[in-house]
Structure 1
Amino acid sequence: MTTAADPPDISQLFASVQSHPLLAHLSFNNLATFLCCAKILKDGILQPQPYNVSIFCAPSILPQSVTAFLAASLDMSLDVVGVLWSFTKDIVWELLSSAEASVDDEDAFRTYSHELGLSKVKKEPHRIVLFTHSEGVKPGWTVHLKCRECNTNYQANYSVKGAFQTYYRGMPQYIQVSDHQFIELQLTMHWMDLMQIAYLHVSATNCTNLYAVAQTCRNLCKNDDRWQFGNALTTEQVWDCFMLLALLDDHQ
């Protein structure tokens, strides 16, 4: 598992800031405000990152929307934001991101965030394994969105509020069968065809075994050896996927 990089000490940070021509006139208040705003946007920074970027280390480059938000709200150029991030990213990643935003931060979000696709919705990325029809088993990420006001948790296929779990309309492209396992719709439809054709007598267990045999040469990418979930499919997951798809189809 990749661990976070050690943030620079304060003297090293100040020396880097003072020596850079774009930051020569940066005030301490502007630096502190940048750190605070970047900390609040940590979830937004993580969301669009590729699956192979560790959540434990600060990304080297900010998403365009976050860069634009910081530049507009702090009255900085895009170049200044980029340089500041390169100097402070490891410090930001060490800061707690759960602190409440200040009044000025709230004003900045109201003014600039909506047109840039940012919000105060909490984003929680999680590692998953995706079982596909034609490309085998693939590592990936899913992002849960949680409204801080109504406490509704928006999962990939459904939302959860209190004791109620509500599935979205339509057929999902990827069906969640457990906390960290998803199955592609095309693969599920293939299993349904096999299980419903009487003369084939293909059970859920046989679907699992056939998939394992077919994917013998299709393992998780070599660069993803440290992915925390394996590529074994269970009979229960096949049945859960079958039942979910049948219920969703019946509700259409």
Structure 2
Amino acid sequence: MRVTASDLRVTIDGHVILDDAALTAETGAVIGLVGPNGSGKSTLLRSIYRAIRPDRGAVLIGQTDVWRLPARKAGRLRAVVTQDQELHNDFSVQDVVALGRAPHQGLLDRETADDREVVAGALERVGMTWARSRLFTTLSGGERQRVLLARALAQQTPVLLLDEPTNHLDIGAQLELLDLVRDLGLTTICALHDLDHALAYCDELVLLRGGRVVAAGGPVDVLTPQRLTDVFGVRGAFTTHPLTGRPHLVVAALNPADPPNRRVDADSTAAPTA
């Protein structure tokens, strides 16, 4: 299902955190939000999943404005995996995933056979069936993220939102999680810190700086060497990944002798063909 955010502005304690922000995620696409710390990535994502109400603007999933819906109905349209791994003390893995069924249940409804089937399917999808009786707090970081993803899948929503899902994970767990997310086929919006992950796993990127969208489009078109210099303060170039054959981003610190807005040779903006 298509997601459209338009003209979003967020002010916190008198400071404009996000201004005139917009994005479009087509059905089934994976959209990456990238930018330096404090650029507004998480604020934009939280505005979309109703954690921060924008001062103005709209967020549509399909044709529905999510900010006009009750929370339970909104929970049937989008599921969220945040960057902070919630500690569900004394909750088993199965109990944590079952929380994803809440938007489909009434306040006093009991778990049904269908709910249990959905939970079991979500655990199987993320490869965590073996841990269903384990306490959530006894799992590794990568395993916890898989369980939280399973909880999101148990909501059975058409849209998945992820805020820095690979934070604090080792490199193997990062790649496993991103492979899993990529294969789900859901409309996905993901705030990412690692630019090479964004290049490898996202269909399109939205680049933010100072609470504003600087560029949006294909990853290679967005992460140009000049933008890497202007937004991140680094030199960057594309090469071909020796293992996957896909475009691969390499970066280095600016030469201290370079001026602040160092121009990059036009020839270095070209990306290799995959």
Asked whether the two chains share a fold, i.e. TM above 0.5, the reply is no
Query: 1 or 2, which has the higher strand percentage?
Result: 2
Q: Which has the larger radius of gyration?
A: 1
Query: 1 or 2, which has the higher helix percentage?
Result: 1
Output the TM-score relative to the length of structure 2.
0.24
Structure having greater relative contact order (Cα 8 Å, sep ≥ 6): 2
Output the TM-score relative to the length of structure 1.
0.25
